[in-house]
Amino acid sequence: MTAPIMVHLDAWRVWQHAQRLSLVTITERIRVVALFGAEMDVEPARSCDGDIVGWLHSHPEWSDSTVTTYHSYLSSWFKWLQVTDRREDNPMMKVGTPHYPDRQPRPVSDDDVVRLLSTRMWRSTRVMILLALLAGLRVSEIARVRGEDVDAGAGVLWVKGKGRKVRSIPLHPTLIEAASTMPAKGYWFPMRGHPHTPMHGKSVSDVVSRTMRRAEVPGTPHCLRHWYATTLLDDGADLRTVQELMRHKTIQSTAVYTKVPDARRKSAVARLDPLRSVTGAEHRVYVPSAVGTS
């Protein structure tokens, strides 16, 4: 059987580079579209809605999150084909939108943070972890930190995040101290043998993950970013401030990363008073007797 021809994929790759999308995003999109064509034995540019539905249905082992992500990649592919006049219709219009799974915040516990920071590790690894815990950086952002991004005098760190947007983050005193031990110029975490090229975010993730496993701390490096947001909220920061520090476009995105502590939820419920409009001796909550009928 002849393998299907992957028409237009190279042109789509070039177009995405011109849009300044990240290399990771471009590579993953191309991989998924090519996988779709190979597994369904169709030319992706000429496939129909039945091919797409059949492919997604053929992988029951995929999580809802994976299906949603792959669906978005295919949507981007067919939208590009249509916009660039390579195809008249968009089969994704007939496929429908999968249910996006509700995400729950998964911050590491305070005890786990102490256990992690008490573990022996390389200085560079400790700085990676501190950047996640005290600045809320993603692994891809940690990989690209340079000495020039630190303004110790102003107490800020300049971060290039999603969409290549550059934002400033207040530097925690511990990070200011850590910065003094790192290069004043160039990448803090260069690729081995290539001092002018930053590590891949995946490499940073692997380094931090190994340290977390050795410290017997459950979760992923991203859970350290969850801790940052959750702890800010727990310590009294309002959600809008946390949104700015997390560098989210919408407050809804921030809400996903923040877990309201159980103690705060219980306290909020305990303060409820159905007779709060009543004053004086009459102000008491009625508690029904355990004996008798209503």
Exactly one of 8, 29, 71, 138 is catalytic; name it: 138
* Three-state SS sequence of the chain: CCCCCCCCHHHHHHHHHHCCCCHHHHHHHHHHHHHHHHHHCCCHHHCCHHHHHHHHHCCCCCCHHHHHHHHHHHHHHHHHHHHCCCCCCCCHHHHCCCCCCCCCCCCCCHHHHHHHHCCCCCHHHHHHHHHHHHHCCCHHHHHCCEHHHEECCCCEEEEECHHHCEEEEECCHHHHHHHCCCCCCCECCEECCEEEEECCHHHHHHHHHHHHHHCCCCCCCHHHHHHHHHHHHHCCCCHHHHHHHHCCCCHHHHHHHCCCCHHHHHHHHHCCCCCCCCCHHHCCCCCCCCCCCC
Instruction: Give bridge partners of residue 187 from the DSSP assignment.
Output: 146
Q: Which of 8, 144, 248, 259 is catalytic?
A: 248
Active site residue: 70, 187, 228, 257, which one?
257
Spot the catalytic one: 225, 226, 247, 259: 225
Q: Establish whether 29 is a catalytic residue.
A: no
Active site residue 162: yes
Give catalytic status of residue 138 as yes or no.
yes
**From 31, 162, 264, 276, active-site residue:** 162
Catalytic status, residue 225: yes
Max CA separation in the chain (angstroms):
87
Residue among 13, 46, 115, 222 flagged as catalytic: 222
Pull the structure tokens for residue 221.
Answer: 């490096």
Amino acid symbol at 176 = I
Which residues are known to be catalytic?
138, 162, 222, 225, 248, 257
